[in-house]
Amino acid sequence: MARAPFTLAGHTVMPGQRLQIDVPVARLYTHTPLHIPVEVVHGRKDGPVMLVCGGIHGDEINGVEIVRRLLRSKAINSLRGTLIAVPVVNVFGFLQQTRYLPDRRDLNRCFPGSEKGSLGGRIAALFRDEIVDHATHIIDLHTGAIHRTNLPQIRAQLSTGSETERMADAFGAPVILNAELREGSLRHYAQNLGIPVLTYEAGEALRFDEWAIAPGVKGILRVMRRLGMLSGEQRRRTPAPAELANGSSWARAPIDGILRPKVRLGARVAKGEVLGKVADPFGNDEGEVLAMADGIVIGMSRLPLANEGEALYHIARFDEIEEAETAIESFQSSLTPPPDAMY
């Protein structure tokens, strides 16, 4: 029996067809229309419907490049199921190179949205109705905020033997955070519908970080293979198993001043270790940024200027820290260029 066509935003995609769709989202006050760009790849054989989206925060552009490379991958030419690829969800923020919408709302706190609500609520409702509700699985692509960078990591709500855990394990990021759902987020909305969701966090806002992009593409393809959407085996060596963090916290600036970092992203640190020093421009006052626990640095500020209390180093805690360190070292050694060029 021939597979049924796939319908999205009023457009019909036939089995074996790829179609780019512009989903009308709003108008600028100049009367210029804005659209959410979508490409649908509808395979000839039945399978899951995978949504891969980037740019929910408009300045997080690594995901845009990940989606582009995914769509150019030869692997998806023999796709089973359907791929919905959305490089930029928050087109307003993307145009203005900002995380937020024009009304300063965070789109990833607006779900499920409302057709009669704020701009964020309206966009969330549109994205929900026209795109998200069609998916059986979701990978949501993010980076650190402006002037902050993240070690490649998966954030998901995990339970033993769940489909989400199976996806997270397949992705191949060195670290998995068992993260609580945040109300208003895409992950919160979809997970409550029973749609498994991975959030991939890697790199820094407003930058293309190759060490974050290339593993993101490979990770998505691994998940699609695990779900039976792609045939064949991973050609390159399988990454070291990801390590599950049992918690995380931020080390903060003890005083106002200029940060001199002592450790880098991915470093193993011990409780009480000096991560950096903050001093005023004259060096009269100086304070140490200390690790609160043994762990791995999975996020850090890239801006040396710090206000007292500002989050500077994100430390993940592990039951088996040696295994976590090994997973990160294995990940870094697989990168081109070499790990030292990452920073």
Nearest-angstrom CA–CA distance, 115 and 121: 7
Q: Which comes out higher in pLDDT, residue 21 or 235?
A: 21
Domain containing residue 168: CATH number: 3.40.630.10
Helices 62-72, 210-226: crossing angle, 10 deg rounding: 50
Q: Give residue-wise pLDDT tens across range 55-105.
A: 999 999 999 999 999 999 999 999 999 999 999 999 999 999 999 999 899
Nearest-angstrom CA–CA distance, 92 and 109: 16
Same-domain pairing of 198 and 53: yes
Q: Is the pLDDT at 323 greater than 90, yes or no? A: no
Q: Which of 185, 210, 243 is the last residue of a domain?
A: 243
Question: What's the pLDDT at 231?
Answer: 87
Same-domain pairing of 200 and 259: no
In 10 A of CB 63, how many CB atoms? Answer: 29
Domain containing residue 285: CATH number: 2.40.50.100
Q: Is the pLDDT at 312 greater than 80, yes or no? A: yes
Same-domain pairing of 256 and 195: no
**What's the pLDDT band for 337 if we cut at 50, 70, 90?**
low
Q: Based on the number of CB atoms within 10 Å of its own CB, is 213 exposed (0-12), middle (13-18) or buried (19 or more)? A: buried
Same-domain pairing of 207 and 304: no
* 3-class SS of residue 259: strand
Same-domain pairing of 302 and 326: yes
Q: Give the chain's length.
A: 343
In 10 A of CB 4, how many CB atoms? Answer: 11
In a domain, 297, yes or no: yes
Contacts of 104 (CB under 8 A, 6+ apart): none
In a domain, 169, yes or no: yes
Q: What is the mean pLDDT of residues 259-288?
A: 96
In a domain, 236, yes or no: yes
Q: Is the pLDDT at 111 greater than 70, yes or no? A: yes
Same-domain pairing of 312 and 268: yes
Q: Which of 209, 243, 277 is the last residue of a domain?
A: 243
Same-domain pairing of 170 and 202: yes
Whether the ω angle into residue 5 lies within 30 degrees of 0, i.e. cis, is no
Q: Which structure tokens are listed for 93?
A: 């923020």
Q: What is the mean pLDDT of residues 208-213?
A: 97
Same-domain pairing of 148 and 198: yes
Contacts of 267 (CB under 8 A, 6+ apart): 296, 297
**What's the pLDDT band for 338 if we cut at 50, 70, 90?**
very low
Q: Based on the number of CB atoms within 10 Å of its own CB, is 28 exposed (0-12), middle (13-18) or buried (19 or more)? A: exposed
111 neighbors 128 (Cβ within 8 angstroms): yes
Question: What's the pLDDT at 334?
Answer: 80
Q: Quote the domain boundaries for residue 102.
A: 6-243
Number of domains in the chain: 2
Q: Give residue-wise pLDDT tens across range 7-38.
A: 999 999 999 999 999 999 988 888 889 999 99
Same-domain pairing of 176 and 301: no
**What's the pLDDT band for 342 if we cut at 50, 70, 90?**
very low
Same-domain pairing of 176 and 74: yes
**What's the pLDDT band for 41 if we cut at 50, 70, 90?**
very high
Same-domain pairing of 285 and 199: no
Q: Based on the number of CB atoms within 10 Å of its own CB, is 272 exposed (0-12), middle (13-18) or buried (19 or more)? A: exposed
Helices 163-171, 210-226: crossing angle, 10 deg rounding: 130
Tell me the pTM: 0.94
142 neighbors 213 (Cβ within 8 angstroms): no
Question: What's the pLDDT at 31?
Answer: 87
Query: Comparing C-alpha atoms, which of 266, 58, 233, 239 is closest to residue 151?
Result: 266
44 neighbors 5 (Cβ within 8 angstroms): no
